[in-house]
Structure 1
Amino acid sequence: MKYFNWINIRLVLIFSLVIFLYSFTSIRNSQRKLKKSEVIFVGDNNNFVKQETVNKLLIENISDVKTIAKEDLNLNKLENSINNHPMIEKSEVFVSVDGVLKAIVIQKTPVARVFNDEGSFYIDYQGNEMPLSDNYTARVPLISGKINDKNIIKLSKILKMIYDDEFLKKNIIGVQFLADESLMMTNRNFDYQIEFGKMMNEEKKFKNYKAFFQKAILDSTLYNYKRINLRFTQQVVCTK
């Protein structure tokens, strides 16, 4: 019986010691001062916002990074201040074990650039407007015509298809949005225009165009055409 009680006492003491050490470590860790801040960009589109810009957003509410304790940080507030930047898609802010305030940042991905009477801006991968950058100009298709909140949804779907396809991404450099809401596209290396038609059956039209291009490029007939008509999903009509 005494042996059993002594075992219980030892277990209670060990358990109490673990709790004490954990609590002591947690308190010390929360009161630890930050060493520095660090911005890490991930993904392929890292040219629109500089690290200095994000770092300024990260510490704009902190008088001195090295004098503030971890427990005094509002990480959600810091994340929101970064995410509100018009060129940033999302971010994650945290403090590392060694006391470094880190921000993992993903910049927005432009899929097209709009030119119209209202000015110029990008359309990002999510279908939202994205301002131009003083640091970098993306090589994306140029969009002309009247763009509004209604048609930009359908147009964004087509722009994403172009961006995600290596052939179309290299081939299509311009999209004109016409008054009847049909599309006219411009090719990079040839003089012809691509009459895409209404924004429907997009996958079939692009499939037809790619198949036609691969065949026509072999016999050099692409140089003879002025217009490639994709309106009819069952065939490609060419005009010289």
Structure 2
Amino acid sequence: MWGGLALLVLSIVLGAMQRKSSAYVSDIVVAIEPLEQGNFLISEEDIPKLLEVRFAQPLTTFPVGEVNIERLERVLEEDPFVKSAEAYVDAQNRVHIEIVQRKPLLRIIDNNDLNYYLDIAGEQMPPSTHYAARVRVVTGNLPPYEAHIISRGDNLLADVFELNELLRRDEFLDALVEQIYVNKRGELILSPKIGQQTILFGRFQNAADKLQRLKDFYREGLAYKGWQAYESFDLRYAGQVVCKKR
């Protein structure tokens, strides 16, 4: 008796699994984690379109049993705005997709008019049609981007990325510096958000010391005359900030 009952239950379970496997995907439910300010580089509507292009037909035309979840996740993670993707199928045959976006950190505009972002890992990503990230801008004489150029650490692009990391770690400096320019000599020039001064930073060497001098000067030295009295601040000389008056 018990053996027959077990076979009946097994038959029912296998039948249900077979019916689910042959049933078609009923819907695609997309959830994208927003960036810190609530913005999106990629939209929920983009995801089904992206998958349709890669799989040559809409995902809802596939039986559930033919949906390769791992491949689907890999395809999504190839998108330049996607850091990670997780997918699963629920009891109603809906494919759920959860997206974590890449975070743009720097905007690069070089002398060849190449325009792109670097993310928190130092990897290149294109501008988004949905949102222009409000991050520090770097312009000027920069080497072309290539794979692992930041991790190599022997070039101006890596120097700029590391300088930006130092700025980000300090709330005052992060709020102060709006733009970085690289001149033909490979020297860095900073533009503050407040005032119209030029901050001559020089080469990346001794960056932490230069930034500390700049911070101390803004907090203490400028209290006497105010920033409007000066045209530029020069950090290239050890132990001092050389000011040029207007």
TM-score bin (small chain): 0.7 to 0.9
The aligned counterpart of 1:225 is 230
Instruction: State the alpha-carbon separation in 2 of the partners of residues 51 and 187 from structure 1.
Output: 37
Do structure 1's residue 56 and structure 2's residue 61 form an aligned pair?
no
Do structure 1's residue 146 and structure 2's residue 141 form an aligned pair?
yes
- Conservation of the 8 A alpha-carbon contact between 2:48 and 2:59: no
| Map 1:162-201 → 2, pairs under 5 A | 162-201=167-206
The aligned counterpart of 1:5 is none
The aligned counterpart of 2:111 is 117
Amino acid corresponding to residue 154 of structure 1 in structure 2:
D
- Conservation of the 8 A alpha-carbon contact between 1:94 and 1:101: yes
Instruction: State the alpha-carbon separation in 1 of the partners of residues 5 and 170 from structure 2.
Output: 61
- Conservation of the 8 A alpha-carbon contact between 2:178 and 2:190: yes
The aligned counterpart of 2:30 is 39
Aligned residue-pair number: 231
Deviation track 1:64-113 (CA, whole Å, cap 9, x = no partner) reads 44443332112232223222222333322332454321222222322232
| Map 1:78-157 → 2, pairs under 5 A | 78-125=72-119, 126-148=121-143, 149=145, 150-157=155-162
Report deviation, 1:26: 5.3
Deviation track 1:166-206 (CA, whole Å, cap 9, x = no partner) reads 43333212111122222001011111111112112333322
TM superposition score normalised by structure 1: 0.77
- Conservation of the 8 A alpha-carbon contact between 1:113 and 1:120: no
Seen in structure 2, the aligned counterparts of structure 1 residues 160 and 93 have a Cα distance that, compared at 3 Å, is farther
- Conservation of the 8 A alpha-carbon contact between 1:182 and 1:196: yes
Instruction: State the alpha-carbon separation in 2 of the partners of residues 196 and 74 from structure 1.
Output: 52
- Conservation of the 8 A alpha-carbon contact between 2:111 and 2:142: no
- Conservation of the 8 A alpha-carbon contact between 1:57 and 1:78: no
Instruction: State the alpha-carbon separation in 2 of the partners of residues 89 and 217 from structure 1.
Output: 43
- Conservation of the 8 A alpha-carbon contact between 1:120 and 1:132: no
Amino acid corresponding to residue 43 of structure 2 in structure 1:
K
Report deviation, 1:218: 4.1
Do structure 1's residue 238 and structure 2's residue 238 form an aligned pair?
no
Amino acid corresponding to residue 89 of structure 2 in structure 1:
V
Report deviation, 1:155: 1.7
TM superposition score normalised by structure 2: 0.76
Instruction: State the alpha-carbon separation in 1 of the partners of residues 170 and 14 from structure 2.
Output: 54
Deviation track 1:32-88 (CA, whole Å, cap 9, x = no partner) reads 543311222114164322222222113432634444333211223222322222233
Larger Rg: 1
Amino acid corresponding to residue 209 of structure 1 in structure 2:
L
Instruction: State the alpha-carbon separation in 1 of the partners of residues 168 and 198 from structure 2.
Output: 19
Instruction: State the alpha-carbon separation in 1 of the partners of residues 19 and 179 from structure 2.
Output: 59
Amino acid corresponding to residue 208 of structure 1 in structure 2:
R
Amino acid corresponding to residue 230 of structure 2 in structure 1:
Y
Identical amino acids, percent of aligned pairs: 22
Which structure 2 segments of 5+ residues have no match? 146-154
Q: RMSD of the alignment, in Å?
A: 3.2
Instruction: State the alpha-carbon separation in 1 of the partners of residues 165 and 212 from structure 2.
Output: 15
Amino acid corresponding to residue 124 of structure 2 in structure 1:
E
Seen in structure 2, the aligned counterparts of structure 1 residues 235 and 33 have a Cα distance that, compared at 3 Å, is same
The aligned counterpart of 1:74 is 68
Seen in structure 2, the aligned counterparts of structure 1 residues 96 and 166 have a Cα distance that, compared at 3 Å, is farther
- Tell me the SS of whatever aligns to 2:201: strand
